[in-house]
């Protein structure tokens, strides 16, 4: 079977290798589709804490080819041939956060495709408890959005949204757009902001009631501030989700949030933002981080399956495995306006 190894910065090597052995408590999954995200781009660029060489791919869907439930209690489960999304996160179950039920921030967390070999291979071996059967009638290609969906849903959950309140989502990439959908489903009025007019158009389709285009001038402009005021009776949004990872955007979140608001930081960056030591105490802001998810792939799939037409709009590009290098280069090109790129593996139907 073919596996794609990222061997060094921006360099992929395809190797013909043996199919992994089935071991107790594991399944062999024939991979059908793998979606790529910003993390993948950083790994490919060797700008990530993981060590190369590495087989990338952590957002993936496939079919069970063989399964061994092992000797534990879990002797029942999905059958051979079942379409599954796979949770790529690996936790220790022993550290403080794991014992407190916060395994998404496990101290020795790992992730298939980020820190150990992942799904850009025709077949992968995964623990049976990482398999999530797709909702009936959900196209496997669309279900690659379950993993990024889980990240967005974790950010939304961390914000403890309440129906009727107004939230501001900063950044309308896939995570921001999915967060807008999940917030709207819970009755939250969402204002969305981004630099790109086309992404803001998508934000409206995903449920945003107002959009603010950020640009070179002051943000928000006077007119945009009036738009915010009209939707926020409490001197600003009471929930802000920062999904860009740009320091200035986090600073905007702190500045624009209403008194007593919750700010969820889900965008990641190696840069440092300036934190107002006045706004945080004066407004008694809750600043909350969001990382990975607490097993939210099934919940995300359930929502995405109900909004298939919308979710499809996130997938803007498809490539075959052998075109992986071209796929990464496409992500680098701002003119391509990339949403999600899906790699259609030899076993996957590209339609």
Point out which residues bind Zn ion (CB under 5 A): 37, 39, 92, 95, 98, 106
Q: Which is nearer to Zn ion, 87 or 238 (CB)?
A: 87
Rounded distance, CA 143 to CA 34, Å?
10
In whole angstroms, the minimum distance from the beta carbon of 182 to Zn ion comes to 17
**3 state DSSP class of 99:** helix
Rounded distance, CA 136 to CA 176, Å?
26
In whole angstroms, the minimum distance from the beta carbon of 242 to Zn ion comes to 17
Looking at residue 246, the DSSP 8-state letter turns out to be -
Please state whether the peptide bond connecting residue 32 to the residue before it is cis, i.e. omega within 30 degrees of 0: no
In whole angstroms, the minimum distance from the beta carbon of 39 to Zn ion comes to 5
Q: Which is nearer to Zn ion, 46 or 286 (CB)?
A: 46
List all residues 6 or more positions away from 78 whose beta carbon is below 8 Å from its beta carbon: 27, 64, 67, 84, 131, 133
In whole angstroms, the minimum distance from the beta carbon of 81 to Zn ion comes to 27
Q: Vertex 230, ends 228 and 234: CA angle to 5°? A: 80
Q: Which is nearer to Zn ion, 43 or 168 (CB)?
A: 43
Backbone angles phi, psi at 271, to 5 degrees: -85, 170
CB 35 within 8 A of CB 145: yes
In whole angstroms, the minimum distance from the beta carbon of 34 to Zn ion comes to 10
Q: Which is nearer to Zn ion, 113 or 140 (CB)?
A: 113
Q: Which is nearer to Zn ion, 66 or 92 (CB)?
A: 92
């Amino acid at each position: 079977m073919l596996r794609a190894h990222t061997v060094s910065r921006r360099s992929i090597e395809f190797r013909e290798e043996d199919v992994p052995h089935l071991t107790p408590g594991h399944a062999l999954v024939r991979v059908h589709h793998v979606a790529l995200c910003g993390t993948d781009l950083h790994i490919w660029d060797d700008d990530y804490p993981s060590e190369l060489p590495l087989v990338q791919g952590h957002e993936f869907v496939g079919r069970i080819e063989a399964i061994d439930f092992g000797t534990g209690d879990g002797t029942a489960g999905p059958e051979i041939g079942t379409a599954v999304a796979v949770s790529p996160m690996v936790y220790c179950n022993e550290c403080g956060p794991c014992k407190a039920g916060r395994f998404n921030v496990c101290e020795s967390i790992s992730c298939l495709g980020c820190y150990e070999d992942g799904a850009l291979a025709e077949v992968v071996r995964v623990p049976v408890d990482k398999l999530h059967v797709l909702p009936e009638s959900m196209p496997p290609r669309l279900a690659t959005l379950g993993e990024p969906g889980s990240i967005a849903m974790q950010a939304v959950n961390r914000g403890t949204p309440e129906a009727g309140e107004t939230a501001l989502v900063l950044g309308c990439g896939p995570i921001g757009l999915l967060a807008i959908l999940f917030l709207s489903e819970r009755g939250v009025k969402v204002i969305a902001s981004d630099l790109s007019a086309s992404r803001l158009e998508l934000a409206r389709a995903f449920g945003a009631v107002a959009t603010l285009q950020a640009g070179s001038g002051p943000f928000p402009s006077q007119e945009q501030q009036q738009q915010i005021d009209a939707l926020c009776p409490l001197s600003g949004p009471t929930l802000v989700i920062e999904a860009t990872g740009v320091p200035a955007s986090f600073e905007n979140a702190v500045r624009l949030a209403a008194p007593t608001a919750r700010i969820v930081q889900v965008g990641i960056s190696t840069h440092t933002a300036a934190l107002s030591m006045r706004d945080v105490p004066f407004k008694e802001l809750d600043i909350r981080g969001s990382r990975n998810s607490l097993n939210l792939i099934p919940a995300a799939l359930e929502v995405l399956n109900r909004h298939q037409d919308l979710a499809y709009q996130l997938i803007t590009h498809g490539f075959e495995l052998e075109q992986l290098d071209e796929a990464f280069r496409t992500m680098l090109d701002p003119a391509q306006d990339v949403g999600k790129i899906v790699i259609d593996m030899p076993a996957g139907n590209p339609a």
